[in-house]
Structure 1
């Protein structure tokens, strides 16, 4: 029997709090799960620093990747099966792409990427195409199979229907992380009727469409996503932790470039610091490694690195106030920078503006930087209509980007006895803090 069609002697199942069971019968999928590159995802949290806000948010990219695989498996094995628009030979490719779509995430994901100018999707493709255990498994299917999986993840694969299963405005990726993140954070916002959505999905040449009778379930899904972003993903306390994490990495990089002698040399970071990151270097980095360094750096001589690491490890986070980037507020920020320096507090690390922005749903806007394929409804008469043309709820939020700005700072340092009283008073007045 060809490897691509080989089944396990007995179906394997993973007990899952979101989908109840995750079913694996394909030998290829089971072998991919067992690779060291996929097992590394157990050591990468799905929600980065969110566990410092919602204590239950300890779930991993491993959990999520299995969940996305399971949703796609249900779609291709139950929903799409025997439909003429679906090519059954794309089944295994869809399952592998779903399982491996997050393979290249680094520790603390987006904060890590921003500091070192890295792209987890590029590393996902490198893992799939490089000298890895994952690549060896995929090549057993066919010599060009790793390339096809990488193309699906890069959204360049010719069959856009396959791409849309894991990358669209209503895909398996989003359907899993909304429910999974809601479960582990303990909030109710991310819940929607996924069973209903799966039942009304239909394959078309370019993407999945939704039967008109399922429109209200999709409305609920979009509103769930909107609420999760503002109540969980962009929570100001989580962003405070991300600010500190980012500043730790910036400080360590600066010290390394300045010739500072570390008590605990950042050997795992050197390639990130100099911008020459090999795949082997990248795969050695996980959150356990980073947290080890942070714990060691609490004993460094550099006061800033020592303080920031202590804050992150012991959850002594920055406070925040609302900030609007108007001329008046920017002038206030410049004045605060000057006062922080007078107080002996480096504003580069201790006075930070952080902005979060989200576009909950958008229709197709060709040529724009983030052009998006819309969600299409299949009407009873066979006509296909873009969702916001039929739904007043979705129309109300379509194309409307919401942005939030916060100014983060260490209030405890403003209470420090060593800080000049007159400067402290001026800073607190500008930040609208009580004396």
Structure 2
């Protein structure tokens, strides 16, 4: 028997007490589709680098909704018209913006479900919930898809200065212990305004925006693009790749029920309330961890070794460089592994590979507009005349090579 819980206040480690603004939004939070986010890690395998990084998409979604409440309060205080219906839609849209994430979030995007983004899956879930909640999410879906006539509402959800980024930087900073991401989200929200239905930042918030963008860039180097994390995520992706390859060869691989379905079916149907959408709603991190445990005992050396390396944190060695990695260097590591473990070149390629990561603090193609005291709008880089602002435009690439630690 289900008991109706009337709790409307939650204690968040980042913001303190946060409130759920309505009975219906509370029911959405209680829905099994949303509760699944408790079992989806926010930062993939980053906990192998930062042991505290076990927080979930559930934490993040509620934090984003809290910041959206603050943003609505600030904008209304500046005479920006936001109706009760628009307010409700903004809360629902930001709450559900990540509901389509699969196991381990970005680490396995496109690996389990090919060519379908988490944003597309979020739209499918929102459509399904809209049918269940008698069409009350229609406006939220329009805003989420960028179909509503007031663009600033989408910008609050998805832009270079949105509630999503303001929460995940501060939250990820807290759980990893990396101080550079501890941005002043309240200060940034207080500086927001709307001009011609576009989101802008008041001039006195110029340096707060610079600090936010610089903090985000540093968080990418220190956390999201940390070399050990990159190597670990490659291993996890390789596990799924190897499983698919073995299945295509007719080799039996034991998998959890719903993960097995998506591994074997390349074109699932995610239309509203479809069986496949409900199957996906049953997938979470536990399915992947179970797969790793089962795979660690598999007769296939490659699959077994990949799984053990993740489970036991016996990860690949990874070297970073400012220059592209030569194929000769990769081949050298491949040959050494092939000889050491008696592997084919194809098998060895699961453990030896190279790649590139890119970090860009600010994309000028999606500008942040600064509002000066005279009411004039200026693009961020032009408003901030110091060289430090131009540095935000610089795209930085780092190249890497992963290979096992072998004893001769």
1:278-303 Cα deviation digits (max 9, x unpaired)? 21232221001110121112111111
Give the greater-gyration-radius structure (CA): 1
1:302 aligns with 300
- Rounded Cα–Cα distance in structure 2 between residues aligned with 1:347 and 1:235: 24
Equivalent residues in 2 for 1:120-139 (5 A)? 120-130=118-128, 134-136=129-131, 138-139=133-134
Is 1:39 equivalent to 2:30 in the alignment? no
Q: Is 1:390 matched up with 2:383? A: yes
Map of 1:341 onto structure 2: 338
1:355 aligned partner = 356
Structure 1 portions without partners, runs of 5+: 1-7, 365-371, 416-423, 425-435
Alignment deviations for residues 373-408 of structure 1 (CA, whole Å, 9 cap, x no partner): x11111011111111112125532243211222111
Distance 2:320 2:77 in 1: 54
Per-residue CA distance 1:120-141 (angstroms, 9 max, x = gap) = 11110011113xxx33454353
Name the counterpart of 2:180. Answer: 189
Q: Is the 8 A contact 1:202 1:208 kept in 2?
A: yes
Among residues 16, 22, 29, which one is paired with 2:25 in the alignment?
A: 29
Show CA shifts across 1:237-274 (max 9, x none). 11111011011111111111110023557662332343
Q: TM-score, normalised by structure 1?
A: 0.84
C-alpha change, 1:195 and 1:32, in structure 2 (3 Å) is same
Q: Please report the TM-score for the alignment, with normalisation by the length of structure 2.
A: 0.89
8 Å CA contact 1:85, 1:205 repeated in 2: no
Structure 1 residues 263 and 53, CA gap change in structure 2 (3 angstroms): same
Q: How many Å separate the matches in 2 of 1:230 and 1:155?
A: 31
Rounded to whole Å, the distance in 2 between the matches of 1:74 and 1:399 is 29
1:119 corresponds to which of 110, 117, 121? 117
> What is the count of residue pairs matched by the alignment?
390
Distance in 1 (CA, whole Å) between partners of 2:6 and 2:29 is: 16
With over 3 angstroms needed to count, the CA separation of the structure-2 counterparts of 1:354 and 1:150, relative to structure 1, is farther
After TM superposition, give the deviation of residue 84 of structure 1 in Å.
4.3
8 Å Cα contact 1:164/1:171 also seen in 2: yes
Secondary structure of 1:321's counterpart equals: strand
> 1:313 is matched with which residue: 311, 314, 331?
311
- After TM superposition, list the pairs within 5 Å mapping 1:357-376 onto structure 2: 357-364=358-365, 372=366, 374-376=367-369
Provide the rounded CA distance (Å) in 2 between the counterparts of 1:70 and 1:383: 30
Q: Which moved more, 1:25-34 or 1:97-106?
A: 25-34
Q: Which runs of 5+ in 2 are unaligned?
A: 269-275
| Most deviating of 244-253 and 80-89 | 80-89
Deviation of 1:306 (Å)? 1.0
Q: Aligned match of 2:397 in 383, 403, 406?
A: 403
Matches within 5 A, 1:147-296: 148-263=139-254, 268-277=259-268, 278-296=276-294
- For the residue of structure 1 that corresponds to 2:230, the secondary structure is helix
Give deviations 1:327-352, integer Å, cap 9, x for gaps.
Answer: x7123323443444344243221102
Partner of 1:103: 99
Cα offset for 1:18?
0.9
Distance in 1, Cα, partners of 2:37 & 2:254: 29
Is this contact kept in 1: 2:93–2:144, CA < 8 A? yes
Contact between 1:57 and 1:181, CA under 8 Å: does it hold in 2?
yes
Please name the residue that 2:329 is paired with: 332
